[in-house]
Amino acid sequence: MQSTTSKPTISLRINVRISLGLLAMFLVKAWRATAFGVYGYLNFTKSGFLEHSKSFNPEDVARRIDGKNCIVTGANSGIGYATAHGLASRGATVYMVCRNKERGEVAVSDIQAATGNQKVYLEVCDLSSVNEIKSFTSRFRTKDVPIHVLVNNAGLLENKRVTTSEGYEMNFAVNVLGTYSMTELMLPLLEKSQPDARVITVSSGGMYTSPLTTDLQFDRGEFNGAEQYVRNKRVQVALTEKWAEKYGDKGIGFYVMHPGWAETPGVTKSLPSFSESLKGKLRTSNEGADTVIWLALQPKEKLVSGGFYFDRAEAPKHLAFSATKKSHSAINSIIDTLNSFGNF
């Protein structure tokens, strides 16, 4: 018996399904942006920090960490500088990893003068280059010093597609491949300071607007730097979960945080309209770095390895009805890709 369903009818049904699928995707994306905007305005601004800080315990960040060795990437300005300053003021030995030697030297000198701590050192490394990271970590390992805290702060939002000398899209190279390479290659020195070792990665609340995607270098569709940035930041959250699971028996804690909306040189340069529209409402770099320093100082038994933190508290990794949670299942495939890129 022949089917009574005509080919035009089948085509119509397929077109309707495709249209409904595209509409659903559009609505979910619109919801993510709206929910993020409202949630962010209420929580990520300076007023949000001031409100949340009413419940902060000053003793949590009052302790000294003399004798602890800390690495902070992207440390010559913004949240990285504030983090390095905060750790140095508490007695830590701080290695500031910067791309620009001259700006790095000025930052080191300023922190030494302000804190009275001379154990602040400059390490020059371009985090967009896997080869430079390999060279830096190999050189640093000859110091044979245990690393107690690694702060993956270096980040980039490049609005136009730029390709590195190694062939990678620039945002991805710094935010994802650079962060992954630095962490994996520093594991032997982190293990030396167990059970107190910890890795803290600075993400962004913008990741709430994006699911995890295997399109790591934005090869599909028209390139959008801001969207690539939040995709990268979602990868950092998923990587932290995986690191906590994979290296849970090595005495290393892995944490990811976001600083809220802070007025930093990077934000002003990359998102000028955003910075201008919220002028006077953005957090300072010190306020943005507060949770990084808090995570570095807390007893590990008070923290959740693999957790996402904001304003000194564990925060949700997904907004309600945003359809991003299941996407984290792609992290194993992403790690395989990163390993192949870095030849790890």
Which pair of structure tokens corresponds to residue 240? 């932290």
Instruction: State residue 5's pLDDT score.
Output: 56
308-310: strand order across its sheet: 120-124, 93-98, 69-73, 149-152, 197-202, 252-257, 308-310, 313-314
Q: What is the pLDDT of residues 30-82, one digit of tens each?
A: 667 776 778 888 899 999 999 999 999 999 999 999 999 999 999 999 999 99
Percent of the chain at pLDDT > 90 equals 79
Which pair of structure tokens corresponds to residue 257? 């945080």
Instruction: State residue 344's pLDDT score.
Output: 84
pTM value is: 0.91
**229 is annotated as an active-site residue:** yes
Euclidean distance between CA atoms 95 and 338, whole angstroms: 26
69 or 3, higher pLDDT: 69
Euclidean distance between CA atoms 191 and 195, whole angstroms: 8
Average pLDDT on 82-107 reads 98
Given a cut of 50, whether residue 285 has pLDDT beyond it is yes
- Average per-residue pLDDT for the chain: 92
Instruction: State residue 23's pLDDT score.
Output: 47
Does residue 286 sit in helix, strand or coil?
helix
DSSP for 239-256, written as a single string: HHHHHHHHTGGGTEEEEE
Q: What is the pLDDT of residues 229-245, one digit of tens each?
A: 999 999 999 999 999 99
Domains belonging to the chain, first-starting first, are 21-342 (3.40.50.720)
Band of pLDDT at residue 28, cut at 50, 70 and 90: low
Average pLDDT on 172-181 reads 98
Band of pLDDT at residue 250, cut at 50, 70 and 90: very high
Tell me which H or E stretch contains 341. helix 331-342
Band of pLDDT at residue 20, cut at 50, 70 and 90: very low
Q: What is the pLDDT of residues 308-328, one digit of tens each?
A: 999 999 999 998 877 899 999
Instruction: State residue 16's pLDDT score.
Output: 52
CB 68 within 8 A of CB 92: yes
Which pair of structure tokens corresponds to residue 123? 């390490």
Band of pLDDT at residue 172, cut at 50, 70 and 90: very high
Q: Identify the residue whose tokens are 């969207």.
A: 227
Indicate which residue of 208, 229, 247, 309 is catalytic.
229
